[in-house]
Amino acid sequence: MNLQILRWLLAHKDLLLKVVDIAKGWKKELPLVEQWGIVDQIARLVLPLLNAQDVVHLTSQDWDSDDPVSAFAFGAEVSALGFDWQILVQVIIPILQVILQALTKQADD
């Protein structure tokens, strides 16, 4: 799922850059309310661009998500955008995974 999310983010570079700016405020030491505030800001940017088909695709396991060639290519593309890839891997992708899982659970209910 991580590479699918990364591929989707790179297809929406303007969104990605806005999300990175928000995610720069993330710290594990923040009170939970402030962490949820960051999640909320990211969700408000991402949700309007997601459609049901995106959610299904981004959460599917239909293709090899551990493909190292794709991972390296995406890493190079992220580096070219000029921000630390760790914020993407450690903050943004986990937040988007939670949002997508919530949307998938909602669809199942």
Query: What tens digit of pLDDT does each residue of 27-78 get?
Result: 999 999 999 999 999 999 999 988 877 787 777 765 455 566 666 677 777 7
What is the model's pLDDT at position 70?
67
Q: Please give the residue range of the domain that contains residue 101.
A: 2-108
Against a cut of 0.75, is the pTM above it? yes
Confidence of residue 14 (pLDDT cuts 50, 70, 90): very high
* pLDDT at position 108 over 90: no
SS3 track for 25-38: CCCCCCCHHHHHHH
> Has residue 105 got a pLDDT over 90?
no
Structure tokens at 101: 């899982």
Q: What is the DSSP string of 26-82?
A: --TTS-HHHHHHHHHHHHHHHGGG--HHHHHHHH--SS-TT-HHHHHHHHHHHHHTT
- Among the residue ranges 20-24, 41-45, 52-56, 99-103, the one predicted with the least confidence is 52-56
pLDDT score of 24: 94
What is the count of structural domains for the chain? Answer: 1
